[in-house]
Structure 1
Amino acid sequence: MNVYDIAIPGLEGTPAAVLDQQRGRATLIVNVASRCGLTPQYEGLVELADRYGDRGFGVVGVPCNQFMGQEPGSAGEIREFCSTTYGVDFPLTAKVDVNGDDRHPLYEALASTPDADGHDGDIRWNFEKFLVGPDGVVVQRFGPKVEPLDNTVTSAIEASLPAQQG
């Protein structure tokens, strides 16, 4: 399945082309929350987007309020928090469910990918990360506590970057 074919609107309800705009790029998709102990991972996500952005890489944040209500804000509040607190300028999607009966189709597609420990299925917590290749196929899953700048993440990103046109 090509993840980039899945429609999910932008945070402010913009057309559902957030993932389509990543087509041809390696993309780290992360379910995010503003009031979580892992929220400082935004710093690493911003650094990854800056470090690899001109090499065909992007980050997409997917706000989710399913884990102890840690993303309760409106779209405007989420955008304000992310941009002023962490300088987030990568795309954020509409707030969605990542588990349960109302799980968004994006997470239906992602959840079957196991992480390095063999965990697949339900998303365990905020900041679970999925690396998607330029072809839209999931490359790797990283648990919530794996920091964005961890060598396992950066190595996987580097291996997944699209070939440079020269």
Structure 2
Amino acid sequence: MNDKLIERADSLMRRRSFVAGANSEPAERGEAGQSADAVPLEEVPVLTEVVDQAGVQAHEPEIPETSPQAMQNQQIESAVRARLEQLLLARQSELAVEIETWLDEQMPQLVIRAMDGITDHLVALLANRARDDLLPRLENVMHLADGEQAEADDSE
């Protein structure tokens, strides 16, 4: 995994140096399209240094001291949440009945509209397919039947 990470970091560094050099004026560019100030890619260091985990100090974020204003805001917020939960529990059955009533009124109309749209689409699709597929097949059957009828008339 470390090798993949190093390769990706190296690739990123190379892309960044290329993009940074792309903003230079064309007159300032030297050979190979690089600006005069750009460092050649051969001199860009490859990220290969392995860092010892023991040498890395864990950075623990400092916990800010809570001010009286912050504590008061937190208390107000928790009181409001508690009150909303109480109201919701008290009104839950009323809300459920209202939602069910609304769904009973709206759902049949929406389903009928959706089914009408599906029916119209199906009829149009069947008509197109019948014209494209079925009609040529029926014409072939009719031509074969006409040919057989003509042969039967000739043989009599």
Q: TM-score normalized by structure 1?
A: 0.15
Higher relative contact order (CA 8 A, sep 6+): 1
Looking at CA atoms only, which structure, 1 or 2, has the larger radius of gyration?
A: 2
Return the structure number with greater strand share: 1
Q: TM-score normalized by structure 2?
A: 0.16
